[in-house]
Structure 1
């Protein structure tokens, strides 16, 4: 149906677009890093094959839905990923990650703000959610700064998480 991310966007410093096959080496380097992956998925680094499968799954989602997860670029260089996941039977979920070299520069906030505006504005979604590991204070702070509210906390078990939600009417102004 769609070959590119619908309404891919740019922020002041970042570009967001669908993954391309050529992204594999840079993305695999990021997903192989334990620090980058600490709070992502199962909390472990991914192999190059797993990263390649993720790129292909993301591209299939873009074909099917017109949006999904894509590459985040700074000055033309892939430094992370972001977008919307579609968990089974759940509203779209905001996901993003940047390599440690890019932390502490305000890029996470800039990316999350851009993704939120894209999802609630350009894609006209009524609501988006984000799931954050309880120890990931920087991501929780970004979401709270953007107006997301905590709706549940699951702190026990194998996969502790805090669920944040932002509805269209509560979205931050541009």
Structure 2
């Protein structure tokens, strides 16, 4: 079920970030396996996590959706982030990430399927994602969800391939 401010799947809820999430995000990003393929590959400092939450709230207010906290329905524990980022060129991209302890449990597939359905319901087209070609797990997940490689080395960046959802 998709709501204006959150996305729900069978086991997960993507809800708007709250300020208290900043320390949890910073802790999640402290794991090198988690932050390896995100942004510049560095851990997320607490002040940057707070800024990310602030920008996510602004996007939610402006567009009605954005990036939020991924929490398990049972227990409500924050296990990652997901939603739509706006890289500044007018486009929107699907983004997602989960803590290492949540890998291999099907959460990624569930989350990405929910994001694609959300995009279809909202008329977000094309549904795009950029991924480091060395991030084999994410590349596999995108292909499973119906994304195809559209542009290797997107915008001249060897660490960013552009994928588009094709069905």
SS for the counterpart of 2:120 is helix
Counterpart in 1 of 2:79? Answer: 79
Deviations 1:63-121 (A, max 9, x none): 11111100100121000000001122242100000011111111111111111111112
2:84 and 2:146 map into 1 onto residues whose CA distance is 18
Q: TM-score, with normalisation over the residues of structure 1?
A: 0.87
Counterpart in 1 of 2:56? Answer: 58
- The runs of 5 or more residues in structure 1 that have no matched partner are none
After superposing on structure 2, the runs of 4+ consecutive aligned residues of structure 1 that deviate more than 4 Å are none
SS for the counterpart of 1:87 is coil
Task: Give the Å deviation of 1:33.
Answer: 2.1
Counterpart in 2 of 1:98? Answer: 98
Task: Give the Å deviation of 1:60.
Answer: 0.9
Counterpart in 2 of 1:16? Answer: 14
Task: Give the Å deviation of 1:58.
Answer: 0.9
* Residue 28 (structure 2) pairs with residue 30 (structure 1): yes
Contact 1:132-1:163 within 8 A present in 2 as well: yes
* Residue 125 (structure 2) pairs with residue 120 (structure 1): no
How many pairs are equivalent? Answer: 163
2:108 and 2:139 map into 1 onto residues whose CA distance is 11
Q: TM-score, with normalisation over the residues of structure 2?
A: 0.90
2:62 and 2:90 map into 1 onto residues whose CA distance is 17
Q: 1:151 to 1:29 in 2, by over 3 A?
A: same
Match of 2:45 among 22, 35, 47: 47
